[in-house]
Amino acid sequence: MPRYAMVIDLQRCVGCGACSIACRNENNVPEGIYWSNKITETVGTFPNVRYHYIPTLCNHCEYAPCVRGCPTKAMHKLDNGITMHNPNKCIGCKYCEFNCPYGVIYFNWETPHKFWRDKKAEIQGGTASPQEVVKDVGAKSVPYYNPEREATYAGIRPKGVVEKCTFCDHRVKKGMLPRCVEACPADARVFGDISDPKSDVSVLLGKFRSFRLREQIGTNPHVFYIRDFNPAAYQPTKGGV
Amino acid sequence: MSEKKGLFGVWLAVLGIGIVVGLITTVKLFSQGHSLFNANDVLLWTLPLGAYIFLALASSGLTLLSAVPLVFGVKKYEPFAKRLVFLAIATLCGAFVSIGLELGSIFHMIYIMLSPNISSPIWWMGAIYSVELVVLIVKFFLMHKGDWHSGFSKFLALASFILALAAPLMIGSVFGITESRVTYFGPVMSIYCLLMAFLSGTALFIVYSLVVNRVTGNGVPVELYDEFALIFTYAAGVVTVFTLLKYAIESATVVPEFLVYRQFEHAFGTVGVFHSEVLLGLFLPLVLLLIPSVRKTVAGKILTSALVLAGTLLMHMEILLAGQSHPVGPKAEQFAPFISYFPSIWEILVFVFALTIMLLIYTLGERYLKLTEAPQ
């Protein structure tokens, strides 16, 4: 059985956000919820400043606090290491979200994609209402609805349950890459079986020193970061005194 | 007599309004969802959860107190035992109302039984409190039938005592074992919850009993509450020592999460390093209780108990909110560095509904179930 992991090359990542947009389309992610997200920070004092950009997603931890804490096993581990969620079993206690050290689980506070249920047109007699648009394209709930998501998970998760990244398990099952990996224009994301020493992820982790988010808390995350982008240069000195 | 009847009618009408408002709140919540709460993906748990913790812990405290006559056999406390068990049941029902409305998909609760996760403190908390409720109801039924000392009755008393010890520990571990929230103080949180349970349970019992005595003019003579007031003083003392220890750790540590935590105003304000709710809801009542002339008066007991009850509710809220006040990881991209909070009207109504259910059960029990009777 493979053990899936992702390597994100921060030297290649340009921070374009294509991963997040692709993820939203693939997984019918509602407004306000981010399966694929980022951590940005600006450090230093002007004019000597730097901007850091770290793409984030569910870390599919080996010792996942969300899985340990879920009272109904709605959040569970698959044999391939993916941390999966079953909305039918989810009681909406939000403990997984409370417990997640990485802030990657979200709760559906209200009916998802509410905007597209609106019957009112922006310009009366001029534009179609959001609901008419959905009806005209023959979609379910949202005009860009992806029915393939339904293969392993609710196409749209209902109000009152949590949701998060599943490493696109429905695509992985068919031998495809997660959508964020496929959509990355800079090939900054590499996905594969970390238990196979010949896989691309294993090769990269052997070649480059990696880090993971909040490693010290012992969750053993399976999203690794390598390298960093830094175009800066400085004059060599003898200590700079 | 007719004046008392009139007052009782008014009281029932107030409770009736509470029930109607609560039912409207329930329908509204189940149809519109939890966007009605002033919660978000950073501040996940708010007043309904705080109310649950407060009521559930108070119920555990009442059960622990009932163990004094029922498990440890202190006979002079037997006239209090039936009322203590009944109050524990009613308070726990209030807690269940609050947690029931806090949950988004209550009909999925069936999976707690069908698909239990025994590594989850939430599962254990739910299971223990559910079993405790059943045990307390059966125990009360036996006491009501006059069976106080049979083997089965004693077993139920012991079982409820053990469950009431375990449940607060489990509530504490729900918070204490979260890797992402260091400010919840790890395993120490369990001990804190147990101590707070005993303190709030004792306060609730004293204030309730003395108010009922005053209103109905019957029941156990008020002098007998002096020893409860002493137990109450000891409990307040222990919680005070623990709270001071907590302050010492909080103000000395340089763990980053605590540094963030210290940057912001606390929910109910501070005087120096001390939170207002701790000063007014714990330290002040303790000082008052240490003065015998205050502790021995009915007014002194009611005042200190009421202060502690309000204080424990606010202390639970402060801890609950402070641990969730800043976004974790990438959520800092969407949310402000610090989330302020004031409950929405719907959250307040959930609390009102939980209290109404609790008070309605108290009222009916007091009226029809002879809560101060003891074995011959």
All domains of chain B, ordered by start, with CATH? 2-367 (1.20.1630.10)
Task: Spell out the residues 6+ positions from residue B123 whose beta carbon is closer than 8 angstroms to its own.
Answer: A71, A72, B112, B116, B117
Flag if B45 and A98 touch (Cβ within 8 Å): yes
If you count residue pairs, one on A and one on B, with CB atoms under 8 Å apart, how many are there? 142
The interface residues of chain B toward chain A in range 20-39, judged by CB-CB distance below 8 A, are 32-35, 37, 39
- Could you give the CA distance from residue B320 to residue A66 in angstroms, rounded to a whole number? 19
Flag if B116 and A72 touch (Cβ within 8 Å): yes
| pLDDT value at residue A241 | 65
From chain A, the residues in CB contact with B115 under 8 A are 72-74, 89
Q: Which tens digits make up the pLDDT trace of A1-24?
A: 999 999 999 999 999 999 999 999
Model-level ipTM above the cut of 0.90? yes
The interface residues of chain B toward chain A in range 143-182, judged by CB-CB distance below 8 A, are 174, 177-181
The average confidence (pLDDT) of chain B is 91
Q: Which tens digits make up the pLDDT trace of A74-114?
A: 999 999 999 999 999 999 999 999 999 999 999 999 999 99
Flag if B179 and A74 touch (Cβ within 8 Å): no
Sign of CA dihedral B35, B39, B45, B48: negative
| pLDDT value at residue B263 | 67
- Could you give the CA distance from residue A122 to residue A107 in angstroms, rounded to a whole number? 29
Q: CB contact, 8 Å: A35 with chain B?
A: no
| The pairing of beta strand A75-77 with beta strand A48-56 | unpaired
Chain A nearest CA to B111, separation (Å)? 6
Q: Tell me which residue of A211, A210, A207, A187 sits closest to A199, measured CA to CA.
A: A207
Q: Which tens digits make up the pLDDT trace of A107-156?
A: 999 999 999 999 999 899 899 999 999 999 988 889 999 999 999 999 99
B249 — pLDDT class (breaks 50, 70, 90): confident
The answer to whether the CB of B235 falls within 8 A of the CB of B199 is yes
Flag if A73 and B41 touch (Cβ within 8 Å): no
User: Is the pLDDT at B1 greater than 60, yes or no?
Assistant: no
Look at the domain A4-114+144-226 and name its fold: Alpha-Beta Plaits (3.30.70)
Q: Indicate the residue of A34, A98, A111 with minimum beta-carbon distance to B178.
A: A98
Q: CB contact, 8 Å: B50 with chain A?
A: no
| pLDDT value at residue B218 | 64
For B266, the token pair is 């606390």
- For the ranges A27-31, B214-218, B254-258, the maximum mean pLDDT occurs at A27-31
Q: Which tens digits make up the pLDDT trace of B314-323?
A: 999 998 998 8
- Could you give the CA distance from residue B201 to residue B306 in angstroms, rounded to a whole number? 12
From chain A, the residues in CB contact with B123 under 8 A are 71-72
Q: CB contact, 8 Å: A219 with chain B?
A: yes
The answer to whether the CB of B202 falls within 8 A of the CB of B239 is no
